Structure 1
Amino acid sequence: MKKNIILLFILFIFATPAQATKTIVSINDVSVEPGNDICASIMLNDVINYGTGTIKVTYNPDIAQVTGAQGTTDSSVLALNADNSAGSITISGLNPNGKTGDVEFTDVKFHAIGSSGISTSLTPEVTTLQDTSYNTDSFESVNGYLGDKPLTIFTHETIPGNLTYSLGSSDYSGKLYPGNPYQVEHNISIPTGATVKFARLYAYWTWSVIDTTDGYPDLKLTFDNDVLSPAATYDDRKGFGNYDFPSGTWAYNVTNYVTGSGDHTTLIENTGPDNSYFSMDGVGLLVVYTEPNGDEIEYWIAEGCDLISSQPVSGLTPEEATTQAVFSGTINTTNIKEAILTTVIQSGNDIDNMLIFNLENWTGIYNGTPYANLDVDKRSVQNYLVDNNNTARIRAVDDYMVPSNAFLVLWHTLPELTPESGDNTPVSLISDIKPEISIEVTPSYLNFGSLGPGEISSTHQILIKNNGSTNLSVTAEVTDTGQDLYARGLQINNATWTGYQTQLIPNATEEADLRIRVPVDYSHEGEKEGVLMFWAQQI
């Protein structure tokens, strides 16, 4: 089987202040068998009165070598300087009569010398671009793989309460053509007496195509039988070459539908033409609630879509392929008893990808949890807080990823009351002494429905609260009367229950996602019961 060497371009855009449209400089993608020659065209799109210009193109000299460049009917070649040792060619072109619109600047000839199946990026660097009066245009580079769309803070507040975020039964959809619906079930549990402040649904979509070209999805979202329009839309694309298909995060206000604990259904359909499709990476449901006697928390909700990559085709360093969420404001770090950062990443399954929080960083955390197309990482960052503008940075290290959400939650320590000076007044003192170890788990009953061998149930969420007065380490134990159905098949947070362990400070609440994966060799029938016990130990 023959394999080709692929040459891929990086896109540039430039504009003068007087121009109504931006001018795009690009080189088309080409492929050629090793040992053969190919031409790649440099195009100027939407240019006004092109007169002359100088453009440098860089490439990997171990994969391709330049053998020349030739002019076109739009632009003659004034001079060229090729350096195949360094991997660059500089071309100067001219059109004394000027041309407006799309201009073919030059055709660069390459000879493929690398092995089959490899690629190099062709990166143009615009030195000058002038009109026929030799007025110089300013320009800027544009590469969709840059970390150029930081996540937006949707809201930042301080309340007595907490929040919960769940992907429910989400999984990667594959290609969704018209007539192929995608459905996600969410089971939400919040404490008794809590009041929902707001609920926000996130639809994470990718790979949107109409026929064989890029396009934005005709995405119809139905939540609990009502068709909704997005409250905010975020999208990004690489902006050059083949497979320039956009990805996005669309946010929906579902506060009127999520008023407490309960089940909710999201249905997503493609209403575009028959030759269109897109894929769903998942659907996330965020619920923020208040409690009359709840802990005081301060939270920031960041959302967006920034497609980043430092793969060779991007032409970028990992530092350039970094996006961020800035949790602006001043905090008192001595008044924080816990801080949790949750990040949601589309297509982030690579252990080299990095999360940076202020001066600390982690790798190996974006590892396909809960599944390969969508990563959710939740971690304590209390020890790394700073007084002003805490910042999370997400970096693609030799990989491709799409950061979509970041939630920062701080648990405040309430100040002690100081008596005012004045007359002595007797005060009655009553104290309710908490036990050292006490946990509460809600709900106390789950029904996983009807399942067959090898099938996986929908996900149900439980809440575990530390009602005691000391820090606790919590583990799980399963017993059942169902011929080891639950002992073998129960999963907590998409992993076997035997590995579950969490730590809770006093009054803290932890959410856990439960589901059953029926063993493929399970041959018993009928209703099967089991018991999940949580054990708490002081730490």
Structure 2
Amino acid sequence: MSSRRIAVGLILLFLGLLAAPAAATYAGDRPLSTVFNDEFRGGYVYTVGNSTYSGSIGPEGEYTVAFDPELPADATVRYQRIYVYWAWSKLDQNAIYPVLSLTRTDTGEHLAEAGRYTDSKGFVSQNDFFSGMDIFTTGDLNPGKNSFTVVLKNNATDNRTFVVQGIGLLAVYESPGSPEAIAWVSEGADLLYSSHGITPVMASSRIDFPGTIDRSGLKSAELFIVAPSGGYTREKIPVINRLFFNREGTSSMPSFFETILSALFPGSSGKEWVNVFDSDETMQVGIDRRDVLPYLRSDGNFAQVQDEKDYLVLTNAVLWAERRG
């Protein structure tokens, strides 16, 4: 076969790989999806209750979390989910998906599973197990204080095990007495780790917030993101992760001109932060809140999370902008 045909064949193979569905890897290849977007008067609450790292949960093993969220007296829930953040799901040394259930102890309700997002290292090697987020629905929270407990159970009929990093509760509510807000809620599971040939640029996951915003009259804008394992590492590394808002991870513009542009038009080139997420060895669900009002655009808003040896699973994002008055 001629070298020309070989070259053409390699090009076609490469293009085919680009067109193929995204595989599970340490790279940012499973971006979060927008599941709720609307403009209304209201707010949102997110809590992981008293979640702590579970350690290995075997068959018939249980894991309990208590929640105590509070909503305004005039609140009506618009979107609500319970998220189970799990990892290291395996049978012996083989990757396998967990079989689990969730029950509310106050009502005895067996919660309905609404979805599952998963990711993994993506190549055959030691410890290539699944991580992910299971989504459950439950009865809407009531106005005022809500106190309840959920119990997770490993329902495997074999010896598969997994760990739970925590359980989260999100409730987006409408409230006539609250400010007018524009909300985006995104969900998924994108495992990011700059290791095994994956560079930080590759280990980056972008979150798009489609649609337009009338920026006049806005009083605040908050970006809220959740990443199990994010922010906790035993390695002594100066920068373990980065968060970008309306700013590309790399820029072809010389830094001198970027400085001038930022001085003339504050917020025009977005913003970058390092070492985001608040977590530790016990509470391993990384959480971060950022004021992004100065960097908000009228359209095309996006965030990007980049790993630099942190090892994290990007699972949730909320962009919340409120108007004055």
| The two structures share one fold, judged by TM-score above 0.5 | yes
Kindly provide the CA deviation profile for residues 189-220 of structure 1, in whole angstroms up to 9, marking residues without a partner as x.
11222222232111111110012200000111
Distance in 1 (CA, whole Å) between partners of 2:50 and 2:299 is 37
Distance in 2 (CA, whole Å) between partners of 1:271 and 1:143 is 25
Contact 2:36 2:79 in 1 (8 A): no
DSSP-derived class of the 1:392 partner? strand
Is 1:346 the counterpart of 2:233? The answer is no
Task: Write the letter of the residue equivalent to 2:309.
Answer: D
Q: Structure 1 residue 136: deviation in Å? A: 7.2
DSSP-derived class of the 2:68 partner? strand
DSSP-derived class of the 1:376 partner? strand
Kindly provide the CA deviation profile for residues 447-501 of structure 1, in whole angstroms up to 9, marking residues without a partner as x.
xxxxxxxxxxxxxxxxxxxxxxxxxxxxxxxxxxxxxxxxxxxxxxxxxxxxxxx
Q: Structure 1 residue 367: deviation in Å? A: 4.5
Contact 1:343 1:407 in 2 (8 A): yes
Counterpart among 225, 229, 248 of residue 112 in structure 2? 229
Distance in 2 (CA, whole Å) between partners of 1:299 and 1:363 is 25
Equivalences for 1:353-502 in 2 at 5 Å?
353-358=241-246, 359-368=270-279, 371-414=282-325
Counterpart among 89, 114, 133 of residue 249 in structure 1? 133
Q: Structure 1 residue 137: deviation in Å? A: 8.8
Is 1:301 the counterpart of 2:185? The answer is yes
Unaligned runs of 5+ in 1: 1-51, 55-91, 93-125, 130-134, 415-539
Contact 1:370 1:376 in 2 (8 A): no
Counterpart among 187, 197, 202 of residue 78 in structure 2? 197
DSSP-derived class of the 1:383 partner? helix
Q: 1:318 to 1:163 in 2, by over 3 A?
A: same
In the other structure, the counterpart of 2:210 is 328
Counterpart among 152, 163, 169 of residue 50 in structure 2? 169
Task: Write the letter of the residue equivalent to 1:293.
Answer: G
Equivalences for 1:73-88 in 2 at 5 Å?
none
Q: 1:215 to 1:143 in 2, by over 3 A?
A: closer
DSSP-derived class of the 1:307 partner? strand
In the other structure, the counterpart of 1:220 is 101
Equivalences for 1:251-266 in 2 at 5 Å?
251-254=135-138, 256-260=139-143, 261-266=145-150
Superposed CA RMSD in Å reads 2.5
Equivalences for 1:111-150 in 2 at 5 Å?
139-140=16-17, 144-150=25-31
DSSP-derived class of the 1:140 partner? helix
In our comparison, the structure showing a higher alpha carbon Rg is: 1
Contact 2:69 2:147 in 1 (8 A): yes
Q: Structure 1 residue 310: deviation in Å? A: 0.9
Distance in 2 (CA, whole Å) between partners of 1:277 and 1:306 is 21
Task: Write the letter of the residue equivalent to 2:163.
Answer: S
Higher percent of residues as strand = 1
Q: 1:188 to 1:367 in 2, by over 3 A?
A: closer
Distance in 2 (CA, whole Å) between partners of 1:326 and 1:234 is 18
Task: Write the letter of the residue equivalent to 2:136.
Answer: Y
Unaligned runs of 5+ in 2: 234-238, 247-269
Q: Structure 1 residue 145: deviation in Å? A: 1.0
DSSP-derived class of the 2:65 partner? strand
Contact 1:369 1:376 in 2 (8 A): no
Contact 2:278 2:288 in 1 (8 A): no
Distance in 1 (CA, whole Å) between partners of 2:14 and 2:82 is 44
Task: Write the letter of the residue equivalent to 1:357.
Answer: F
| Percent of aligned positions that are identical | 33
Distance in 1 (CA, whole Å) between partners of 2:13 and 2:294 is 51
Distance in 2 (CA, whole Å) between partners of 1:317 and 1:232 is 30
Contact 2:52 2:283 in 1 (8 A): no
Contact 2:277 2:286 in 1 (8 A): yes
In the other structure, the counterpart of 2:68 is 187
DSSP-derived class of the 2:183 partner? strand
Contact 2:51 2:283 in 1 (8 A): no
When normalised by structure 2's length, the TM-score is 0.81
Q: How many residues align?
A: 285
DSSP-derived class of the 2:110 partner? strand
When normalised by structure 1's length, the TM-score is 0.50
Q: Structure 1 residue 327: deviation in Å? A: 0.8
Task: Write the letter of the residue equivalent to 1:322.
Answer: S
Distance in 2 (CA, whole Å) between partners of 1:167 and 1:375 is 10
